[in-house]
Structure 1
Amino acid sequence: MPTTHLLYLHGFRSSPQSAKARLVAEHVAAHHPDAFLWCPQLPPSPRAAMALVAEGIAKWPQGAHMAVIGSSLGGYYASWVAQQARCKSVLLNPAVQPARDLARHIGEQTSWHDPEERFFFRPEFIAELQALDVSQQPPAAPELLIAAQGDELLDWREMVARYPQAQQCVLPGGDHALSSFPEHLPEVLRFCGLV
């Protein structure tokens, strides 16, 4: 069954302007013009972010006709979305314990792609992250994990342990930004059902 709708979720302090998001958008536009791609700018509040996504995909065909790609914190969100929509997910260096890891980032933050843009990561967002944890549930649909051993921000071993049933692609070296993503894009989109 072909995928007709694709959701891309960016990471913490990131945006739809990230290199990976733009690459996915360009490739889908060039090679899959009939597919609908949405990469929303996610608000800092995890609850608000997932409310935005849930509203945005409410009328989408769920299950086999949609897929979600998430990078870093977006990977954590993607697992939640995949549970709700029963759809395939691709997890790119996903955050596994964001409530733990982002606790030290409470306060004013800047956006990677626009340092002039500032936002506050509030203490209550930690509980909102915990409320989205689906790690104790079996995957609702196939998962693809791409984890770089050289990720300087997140531990690839935690990623591998978190997604034991996923198709796993563990990269020697690499970095958190997944600079080698262009090489993996065809596999990612094939997995999503865009062939």
Structure 2
Amino acid sequence: MSTTHLLYLHGFRSSPQSAKARLMAARMAARHPAVHWWCPQLPPSPHAAAELIAQGTADWPGDSMAVVGSSLGGFYATWLAARTGCRAVLVNPAVDPARDLAKYIGEQTAWHDPEAHFFFRPEYIDELRALQAGALRHPERLMAVIAKGDEVLDWREMTARYPGSLLRVVEGGDHALSDFETAHLDAVIAFLQPA
């Protein structure tokens, strides 16, 4: 079944202004205008982010909703897919953000607005642990795009997290997946809108 509702979840310190979020929004508006698109600004608290995601998708049809998540957004997308069984595309997804983000406790700036500051609190680490999805019941409903050249996350760990899922493991690349538009966007849309 084709996607009728699509959620995009950005990564840590990112926003709906990220390049991938804007590319996805433009493509959906141009070629799939009937799809309900939502790309919220996620709060720093993982618990609050999960509440926002859960409330915002509560009345979405489970069999035709989908989520795309990048980095920390990929972690949240995995959590949502485990809860709902929806299709999900994960772009260089964070596998263990409770471990990886512990070194970022303190004041942070936003990538797309250096004037915007937020505080990443120590209790957010436990909130991340609480959202760990565990084994996936429907791995075939997930696709992961993973760059071996990711300078932030280990591609082997990402690949091992999604057995049974469709994996696009890219030679080289980077954490932002800078070639997303030219090399991956069509495949992502095709996975979300199967013919």
Pairwise TM-score range, normalised by the shorter structure:
over 0.9
The residue aligned with 2:149 is: 150
3-state SS of paired residue (1:3): coil
The residue aligned with 1:191 is: 191
In 2, Cα distance between the equivalents of 1:165 and 1:103? 30
Please tell me whether residue 8 in structure 1 is matched to residue 18 in structure 2: no
In 2, Cα distance between the equivalents of 1:174 and 1:141? 24
Opposite residue 92 of structure 1, the aligned amino acid is V
The residue aligned with 2:25 is: 25
3-state SS of paired residue (2:2): coil
In 2, Cα distance between the equivalents of 1:3 and 1:84? 17
Structure 1 141/47 Cα, relative in aligned 2: closer, same or farther at 3 Å? farther
Q: How much does 1:85 deviate?
A: 1.8
RMSD between superposed Cα atoms in Å:
1.2
In 2, Cα distance between the equivalents of 1:137 and 1:186? 25
3-state SS of paired residue (2:78): helix
Q: Check whether the contact 2:72–2:94 (CA below 8 A) recurs between aligned residues.
A: yes
Aligned residue runs from structure 1 range 94-173, under 5 A: 94-139=93-138, 142-173=141-172
Structure 1 112/13 Cα, relative in aligned 2: closer, same or farther at 3 Å? same
Opposite residue 123 of structure 1, the aligned amino acid is P
Structure 1: stretches of 5+ with no match in the other structure: none
Structure 1 5/58 Cα, relative in aligned 2: closer, same or farther at 3 Å? same
3-state SS of paired residue (2:50): helix
Structure 2: stretches of 5+ with no match in the other structure: none
Aligned residue runs from structure 1 range 52-91, under 5 A: 52-63=52-63, 65-91=64-90
Greater alpha carbon shift after TM alignment, 19-28 vs 136-145 = 136-145
Opposite residue 47 of structure 1, the aligned amino acid is H
Q: How much does 1:137 deviate?
A: 4.0
Q: How much does 1:84 deviate?
A: 1.6
TM-score, structure 1 normalization: 0.96
In 2, Cα distance between the equivalents of 1:73 and 1:104? 15
Structure 1 116/194 Cα, relative in aligned 2: closer, same or farther at 3 Å? farther
Structure 1 137/168 Cα, relative in aligned 2: closer, same or farther at 3 Å? closer
Opposite residue 12 of structure 1, the aligned amino acid is F
In 2, Cα distance between the equivalents of 1:147 and 1:38? 23
Q: How much does 1:140 deviate?
A: 6.2
